[in-house]
Amino acid sequence: MSKLTGSPAWQALAAHQKKAAATDLTALFAADPSRAEAFTIEAGGILLDYSKHRVGAETMRLLAALAVQAQLPRWIERMFAGEPINTSEARPALHVALRGREATFPAGRDVMSEVRGTRGRMRAFVEEARQGTLRGASGRAITDVVNIGIGGSDLGPRMLTRALRRFHKPALRLHFASNIDPADLDATLAGLEAETTLFIVASKTFATAETLENAGRAKAWLAAALGGTADLSRHFAAATANVGGAAALGVPRERVFPLWDWVGGRYSVWSAVGLPVALAAGMDAFEELLEGARAMDTHFRTAPIERNLPAVLALLEIWYANFFGAQTRAVIPYSEDLRDLPAYLQQLEMESNGKRVDRDGNEIDYDTAPVVWGASGTPSQHSFHQLLHQGTRLVPVDFVVAHERNPSPAQTALAANALAQAAALAFGNPVPGAPHKALPGNRPSSVVLLARLAPRELGELVAMYEHKVFVEGVVWNLNSFDQWGVEHGKVLARTLAPRLLGGGDAASLDSSTRALLARMRERD
Ligand code: F6P
């Protein structure tokens, strides 16, 4: 038994779970008319109603005790003090500095002047682009910007650019390409004009195969259209910690926006990786996004655990993953503009906490991050909600709903569907004599209600999930800031590519990979 599962707080929760499992949500609501109010937390523009979870006051007290036992308040302060909490890479995790206002931070190693300087350069670049004075090699104004990046260098800016669709100014159109499959960039470039297209190559390392391949193909596309003698550098900008790598591609120095080793890819949207968001919605909107995140940072640092949005979301996750055996959590935004949120959270949550050894390298005996999945409602209702309502698995759901003022009839119907799904999951629908029609209910969900789908609220939302992941990592005793599991696959792919081309020794490969390689080569 590990230190965690043998601990008093864990054991108390395990004992309490037996009682909790025997009561259902209908009974909990009937017993307490003020339940909705008691299990709702509001901070800034975000309201979390978690009353439709299988918890009572005692559950929340015991879960908070688990967080205290893990020394959550001390860990929060360690992160905000800039201590090197990413131990396997001996680095701090300073994404909060990217939205901070401190004059200097952290003690002994100020990063704020570089952060401010980069933001100032981003503003100048964004204004130039939005005023139409950013010009390509032929002198025509840039109208289309393609972000080439993958993982954290793609999912955050892609999700937020789409989420802020209503704030876009018509001058610039944003596009994204991430896959090494040429079909991705080809489809993106179809219909674009080389003379008026700018590529942002976003890569912290500037060593990621997909991104370098796509950047090279983008350059070839430009050269083919504009001629080899054209100044292609006018069509590139970069966000990277590897300034030399960007220079080697031919990105002019003044268009290289720095990143730093102290920010993880999946936490980097607040940096120059967020440039597409700023280009689409304007630098003021980007600054509001940062303000929202900063407000969530303050809430996270100061609110007591039981009233703390990220902490409560994390503890609910732990409750189901570790005490009810839930293997997955669905994220269903009732907003087409937020439809990329599940993909963004997949990386944030699963790359951060999809781990099986603790901070000290010990194998653990408890589950960590569940599989995060989802899609936008209402299309999801006509796809996988059947399983949510009547399947055999327990799948907690986050319904993310943007509250619209003066909604249109369709927007009203959208919101009604979200609330209806949450209620149907919780309270079910008994149909006597027809078990195939009955919904058992007692299926947990959160409603995360955004006051508006606007930069500030989105900043709060994303920072809320970042800190949720951090709290889980603290309780599970994980380093949430490394991702060693991704590396081996990259190395293997590099060794297999030459073998597909006919070179290299296949004898050392496993028989399955060898046979598949042979079949693929036969078809060439
Ligand atoms: O998939 C692993 C990963 O290292 C992610 O953590 C990261 O966001 C992504 O690759 C892209 O990395 P880079 O920004 O260095 O190209």
Residue 153 CB less than 6 A away from ligand 1: yes
Pocket lining: 310 vs ligand 1, CB cutoff 6 Å: no
- Is 382 one of the catalytic residues? yes
266 C-beta closer than 6 A to ligand 1: yes
**Structural tokens at position 372:** 């995060």
Active-site residue 490, yes or no?
yes
Q: What is the pLDDT along the chain (524 residues), one digit of tens a residue?
A: 899 999 999 999 999 999 999 999 999 999 999 999 999 999 999 999 999 999 999 999 999 999 999 999 999 999 999 999 999 999 999 999 999 999 999 988 899 999 999 999 999 999 999 999 999 999 999 999 999 999 999 999 999 999 999 999 877 999 999 999 999 999 999 999 999 999 999 999 999 999 999 999 999 999 999 998 999 999 999 999 999 999 999 999 999 999 999 999 999 999 999 999 999 999 999 999 999 999 999 999 999 999 999 999 999 999 999 999 999 999 999 999 999 999 999 999 999 999 999 999 999 999 999 999 999 999 999 999 999 999 999 999 999 999 888 999 999 999 999 999 999 999 999 999 999 999 999 999 999 999 999 999 999 999 999 999 999 999 999 999 999 999 888 888 888 888 888 777 778 889 998 889 888 888 65
Active-site residue (options: 210, 288, 351, 466): 351
Q: Where are the beta strands (DSSP E) in 32-184?
A: 40-43, 46-49, 144-148, 173-177
156 lines ligand 1 (CB under 6 A): no
Euclidean distance between CA atoms 348 and 481, whole angstroms: 10
Atom of ligand 1 at shortest distance to CA of 273?
A: 14
Give helix 72-80 / helix 455-476 axis angle, nearest 10°.
120
Residue of 382, 436, 488, 522 marked active site: 382
Q: How far apart are CA 413 and CA 409, in angstroms?
A: 6
Please report which helix (H) or strand (E) contains residue 446, including its range. strand 445-450
Residue ID of nearest Cα to ligand 1 atom 10: 151
Tell me if 204 CB under 6 Å of ligand 1. Answer: yes
Q: What is the pTM of this model?
A: 0.96
d(CA 392, CA 248): 54
Contacts for 487 with CB less than 8 Å, ≥ 6 apart: none
Pick from 91, 148, 178, 208 the residue to mutate for probing ligand 1's pocket: most ligand atoms within 8 Å of its CB.
208
